Amino acid sequence: MLAGPYATMTLADLGAEVIKIEPATGEISRQVSDSYFQSLNRGKRSVCLDLNSEDGQRKLGELVSGAHALLVNLKPSAIHRLGLTYENLHRFNEQIVCVAITGYGLHGGDDPAFDYVIQAATGVAALTGDPSGPPTLPGYSSADNSTGLTAALGLLAMIVGGRGGQVDVSLRDVMLSQLNYHAATYLNTGVEPVRRPGGAHAYYVPAQMFPTADGHLAIFITHDSFWRAFAGEASIDSFATMAERAAHRDEVLGLVTAALATDSAANWEKRLKPLGIPVAAVRTMPEALEETPSAIVESGDFRTVRCPIGIDGYTPDYRSAPALGEMS
């Protein structure tokens, strides 16, 4: 519904010819909403194949024979049963790259795996939210989107390497990988990560969300030069080094919280940004889109968010998502 379509839409934005293989009834996200489907499938073509039939398998072989890659986002048993692997399809094209996006791996079983389930299973949800409340989830599909981009990267790496083969990408492995420094700290020191108020970073202080006189402010201070600039504006005269701030986290946060309570989030952003400090007032999504009109593109009759990858001299053709079976 999301990881595979997002991967292939990104490739389509970058100039790939993408043919979406669907059953005669259409893939399930066509039933969600038109804007949902458009946001993940612009710029593609569509062909209806019954892969359970002899004719559907013959047509699949024809597509594979002239393609660089086949990306599949189904449960493992269906991928194997329908022969959507390099082991089965290399007879049509030795150079074909077959990419499988699954929940737990191409040989990891068929347990249903959706974004929120994977975030819960991998420890991501347990790290998210206020420590005084329950674990929570971000407001968008971070596991699906991350897995889609990872799958696209694996696909391109194989093509650039000039070899065919099987690429196996799972939502579980992608999210465990993205725990990087949290996981490495635990594996090497035994120290478990914890949820902190304001989503505070495990190492950098202050690097989190703060309440202000009006609204919330995100500030991310790593380098001592950032701290010097902030401390000067906030009238704080202590904890000059990163090590000191980490060692006296609670005291630093108390001083910062008191200082930020004297003005609004919007005003603090205006005051701190010119000083080169990483800072932003919390915005709603509509506010963020209104402030960033360059991110919005027309694709057919719909407005969507543009491809995040810019290439000098290349402008994506943001065509509409295809109607079911539309190959033109």
List the catalytic residues.
144
Spatial distance between the Cα atoms of 306 and 301, rounded to a whole number of angstroms? 15
Four-residue CA torsion sign, 28, 30, 33, 35: positive
- Please choose, from the candidates 239, 133, 259, 288, the residue with its C-alpha nearest in 3D space to the C-alpha of residue 196: 133
- Please choose, from the candidates 64, 49, 137, the residue with its C-alpha nearest in 3D space to the C-alpha of residue 99: 64
Half-sphere exposure of 323 (CA within 13 A, CB side): 3
The total of other beta-carbon atoms located within 10 Å of residue 118's CB is 25
Four-residue CA torsion sign, 105, 106, 107, 109: positive
Spatial distance between the Cα atoms of 174 and 27, rounded to a whole number of angstroms? 24
Strand partners of residue 46: 20
Length of the chain: 328
The residue behind tokens 């975030």 is 119
Beta-sheet pairing, 69-72 with 97-102: parallel
Spatial distance between the Cα atoms of 123 and 130, rounded to a whole number of angstroms? 15
Spatial distance between the Cα atoms of 175 and 189, rounded to a whole number of angstroms? 21
Beta-sheet pairing, 302-305 with 216-220: unpaired
Query: 321, 35 in Cβ contact below 8 A?
Result: no
Spatial distance between the Cα atoms of 167 and 165, rounded to a whole number of angstroms? 7
DSSP category for residue 21: E
Spatial distance between the Cα atoms of 9 and 148, rounded to a whole number of angstroms? 10
